Amino acid sequence: MSGVAVAEVPRESAAVPRRRREGLWWVRVRARVAAVAVVLAGLALPVAAATPAAADPGTFAYVANLNSNSVSVIDTGTNTVTATVPVGTGPNGVAVNPAGTFAYVANGGSGNVSVIDTGTNTVTATVPVGTAPFGVAVNPAGTFAYVTNFGSNSVSVIDTGTNTVTATVPVGSLPTGVAVNPAGTFAYVTNLGSNSVSVIDTGTNTVTATVPVGANPSGVAVNPAGTFAYVTNQSTNDVSVIDTGTNTVTATVPVGTSPFGVAVNPAGTFAYVTNLNSNDVSVIDTGTNTVTATVPVGTFPSGVAVNPAGTFAYVTNGSSSNVSVIDTGTNTVTATVPVGTDPAGVAVALVPASTAACPVGSVITGGGFELTGPAPSNLTSKPVNDTWLVSFTNPTTQDITVTPYAVCADNTP
């Protein structure tokens, strides 16, 4: 989980107030709740000129830009934005299914979820849910998506096969984060307004336990073994560690100021916590439940996700409108990627390769793809959707097969 919700409350002004270092947890929530789209006319998003420590082919990070009403797609092999996908109003939470074929984006301001086809980076469905959807998680089978509705104190259960809501589960006050255990049997929901975690039995879609935690919990993540859930408590500046076998808090770990998002690496050995008001990430050794490193990042970090290889963590910095890429081996930032305005949720996934046969004269766009056929002589670049992509016209007398992550268009540049 990573992001914050948007609720239907009176707006204080026509623009979201700046939230540099005001301090209290509600500053972040209220700023998110306002959900005012701040769009800078004519602004094109530049691509980061950073070189990653190691290539990460086929893996992409999906970043929800709260005040750009879009999702930035980052090729993690090059740490560049390769697509910008328009979605609903005030997108916050984002999750990708295990197959890597669809991304689900909770749009707090429009009360729905955008379903993005990762092969084409287009929205193929929009699913109405509750009021001010906040966080989203997909079960390991990829059959259901769970969406927290910040404004209606409930969780919408989406059948991903039909893209319809098949159940609505009442939970605590102001539900924010959500995570599903590896077995797919339970979903854990943080209730920011009631200082608790609701445990949903996914077989019956009922709450079977409520676990008291710290003050104003927001983010939640479950380790790969399914034995512990990690909950960030904004107002007590700590992380509650829940034993999922007993649904009790067995440890409390002090971290930075206003911890918000949390993610656990695939090995289950470390948890990464974003601290909104200390502008850093706390790295928790899950074996000892102690902080072993603190990594400075951008301003107002909120969302965090770890790549499938466990080698990099991606952190959204809301007030600096970029993503910090942390090398988990050295706990240092090795790249900074500009994205949209006020990035919130982030998810990282391996996306299946796609192959396209591009006819003679067609325009080929994409990032990080390989070519089969004669090498083109007129390789150029052009802006597409506020992003710079590799683009060229097939100059040969035969088709070129492009794989993966490319799109063909039967027109001229």
User: pLDDT per residue over 42-64, tens digit each?
Assistant: 222 222 323 223 334 479 999 99
Judged against a pLDDT cut of 80, whether residue 343 lies above it is answered with: yes
Judged against a pLDDT cut of 80, whether residue 374 lies above it is answered with: no
Cα gap 220→190, rounded to integer Å: 7
Cα gap 294→292, rounded to integer Å: 7
Judged against a pLDDT cut of 50, whether residue 244 lies above it is answered with: yes
pLDDT at 77: 86
DSSP codes joined into one string, 55-90: --TTEEEEEEETTTTEEEEEETTTTEEEEEEE-SSS
Contacts 24+ apart (CB under 8 A), 110-114: 112/88, 113/145, 113/147, 113/156, 113/158, 114/71, 114/87, 114/88
| 295-325 pLDDT, tens digit each | 999 999 999 999 999 999 999 999 999 999 9
Judged against a pLDDT cut of 50, whether residue 385 lies above it is answered with: no
Q: What is the mean pLDDT of residues 62-75?
A: 96
Judged against a pLDDT cut of 70, whether residue 371 lies above it is answered with: no
Cα gap 176→133, rounded to integer Å: 8
Judged against a pLDDT cut of 90, whether residue 264 lies above it is answered with: yes
Confidence of residue 129 (pLDDT cuts 50, 70, 90): very high
Cα gap 369→392, rounded to integer Å: 13
**Rounded to two decimals, what is the model's pTM?**
0.78
Judged against a pLDDT cut of 70, whether residue 34 lies above it is answered with: no
Two tokens, residue 114: 């955008």
Question: Which residues, listed in sequence order, are joined to residue 338 by a DSSP beta bridge?
Answer: 322
Percent of the chain with pLDDT over 70: 71
In the chain, count H helices and then E strands: 1, 35
Q: What number of other Cβ atoms are within 10 A of residue 185's Cβ?
A: 15
pLDDT at 49: 28
pLDDT at 133: 98
Phi-psi category of 389—alpha, beta or left, where left has phi over 0 and alpha has psi -120 to 50? Answer: beta
